Structure 1
Amino acid sequence: MACRSAVKSNTFETMDFPATVHILGKDVLLHPITESLGIFVGMRYYTFLKRNDKEKFSNINSLLILIAATLGALIGSHMIGSLERPDDLMKAPDVWAYIWLNNTIVGGLAGGLIGVEAMKAIIGKKESTGDRMVYPLIAAMFIGRIGCFFTGVYEETYGLPTDSVFGMDLGDHVLRHPVALYEMVFLAALFVFLKYFQRNFSYRSGVLFQIFMLLYFSFRFFLDFIKPKYNIIFGLSTIQLVCVFIIIYYIYLFKKNIHEIIRSR
């Protein structure tokens, strides 16, 4: 979502929200810095893994798929992000500016998936391309969520009020679920789990990415119940509805191919 006004709040004695970094005489929000750093690290990680690439794609096909993934992620991120609150979108004085200023990783992943599958259909390729992207994506998302946390309540990536032991004051003097921290813990655990799975099981190309998508979208579906949200239908938000469609899609793939895609080493 778009960043709100950067009004500081003395949440802790040593921390203000949103966190800023002093660069060249100016205070710069930490969030865009961590997002940029996450993208950079993810791309370098991806390049490193690609050196041992065993996927049979030509350079031109790989480039076309990468372009499709990037374009799909860009469109999906902003489209789903702007549809989180349809009323605000309809009332926005500048609709295109509103769409551009709102985004979500859920839409980015879903849009990227659609873009890749569409391009593969166009160029006639059936091989999976996703496994190599899993760990770079996790790394990029983890780093980006650091910025989300340190933005506090000044960007809509915070949780609902809570009386639990996990409650934190993120800038409005209300104890809230630190959902960015929850997601960071989940991503770290997911990274470890997928590494374990990769070492101990044989599987068809693409399965690692499918497991990543199924588990991440399942996590986000439940996480959004403790975040402020606009219910669209059946008490679910736009992001949760997208999660449901992606979860159903990957459950279908697993159910269809489970006997041939995974076996113990």
Structure 2
Amino acid sequence: MITKSDSPFPFQFELFGNLYHYHYIFETLAFIMGVRVYYYLKKGIPDPISDEHRLWIMLGAMLGALIGSRVVAVLETPEVLHHLSFAVLYQSKTIVGGLLGGLFGVEIIKKIIGVNIASGDIYVIPIIIALFIGRIGCFSMGIDEPTYGIPTTLFSGMDLGDGILRHPIMLYEMVYLVLLFCFFMAIKNKTLINGDRFKLFMVLYFLFRFLIEFIKPYQSLFLNLSSIHWSAMLIFAYYYTFMIRLTRTIFI
């Protein structure tokens, strides 16, 4: 049973006599900054996709993310399937499901409107920035957000609100996102096939989430793997040919 401790987590602010998590503020800020960075990067860049089609693609991404984030999050705790309600479904969400659902939402919309051009490269940096800002909010929630890690004796262990030194998973992810940002900025002028940057981001991010899941107190969905594990493997299977091509480019 999780108990409270003298830890400063979770960070909260008081408004009209009620306590609120900063997570909600950072979540909103993440969305706003992601959109602003996207439009900043889009300036002066010739887009082979029309504005109308780009709006449809963004709509597909948002709807797919809305559905995917809820489905994967619910499957993280399989026992809730026996008493699933709209409230539980609405409150459950995970960025892994959002990215997965957004990807397939985009692909479905592109099939419908007849767009065959890769459309994801321009979103890589905005997504990384939005993720980083959002993760600050997740980290500030401590054990109130189910993203904390298992107990550890490593120097990085932190009391996130229950008196136990745990892996600060969100802090690890924030460091990883900074590394991803630096990496993609370093290769921004490198000539790549259109769409490869987004594919590379998805593979690298989902690889991190697959590995980091093992130091979280996850619940098994199937074969002792969580819904996050299975989502990552779905991405690896989807981008299988890209991964083979990238490997051959690097080592051959």
Q: CA deviation at 1:69?
A: 0.6
3-state SS of paired residue (2:66): helix
1:193-212 CA distance string (max 9 Å, x none): 1111223x211111111110
Alignment of 1:41-120 (within 5 A): 41-92=33-84, 95-120=85-110
| 8 Å Cα contact 2:147-2:170 kept in structure 1 | yes
Q: 2:225 aligned to 212, 236, 245, which one?
A: 236
1:10 equivalenced with 2:6 (yes/no): yes
Name the CA distance, whole Å, in 2 between partners of 1:227 and 1:254: 27
Name the CA distance, whole Å, in 1 between partners of 2:247 and 2:214: 30
Q: Which amino acid aligns with 1:247?
A: F
| 8 Å Cα contact 2:4-2:163 kept in structure 1 | no
Aligned position for 1:123: 113
Q: CA deviation at 1:239?
A: 1.0
Q: CA deviation at 1:237?
A: 0.2
Q: CA deviation at 1:24?
A: 5.9
3-state SS of paired residue (2:6): strand
1:223-255 CA distance string (max 9 Å, x none): 000011111222210111010110222232242
Q: CA deviation at 1:91?
A: 2.8
Cα–Cα, structure 1 residues 233 and 26, in superposed 2: closer, same or farther, change >3 Å?
A: closer
Q: Normalising by the residue count of structure 2, what TM-score does the alignment of the two structures yield? A: 0.93
1:196 equivalenced with 2:186 (yes/no): yes
3-state SS of paired residue (1:244): helix
Aligned position for 2:135: 145
Name the CA distance, whole Å, in 2 between partners of 1:106 and 1:234: 19
Cα–Cα, structure 1 residues 51 and 80, in superposed 2: closer, same or farther, change >3 Å?
A: same
Aligned position for 2:146: 156
Name the CA distance, whole Å, in 1 between partners of 2:221 and 2:4: 32
Name the CA distance, whole Å, in 1 between partners of 2:200 and 2:140: 29
| 8 Å Cα contact 2:4-2:162 kept in structure 1 | no
What is the root-mean-square deviation in Å for CA atoms of aligned residues? 2.0
| 8 Å Cα contact 1:76-1:112 kept in structure 2 | yes
Aligned position for 1:251: 240
Query: May I ask how many residue pairs the two structures share in their alignment?
Result: 249
Q: CA deviation at 1:57?
A: 1.5
Q: CA deviation at 1:90?
A: 1.4
Q: CA deviation at 1:120?
A: 0.9
Mark the runs of 5 or more structure 2 residues left unpaired by the alignment. none
Aligned position for 1:4: none
3-state SS of paired residue (2:137): helix
3-state SS of paired residue (1:21): strand
Identity across aligned pairs (percent)?
43
| 8 Å Cα contact 1:55-1:129 kept in structure 2 | no
| 8 Å Cα contact 1:89-1:98 kept in structure 2 | no
Q: 2:197 aligned to 188, 197, 208, which one?
A: 208
Name the CA distance, whole Å, in 2 between partners of 1:30 and 1:90: 32
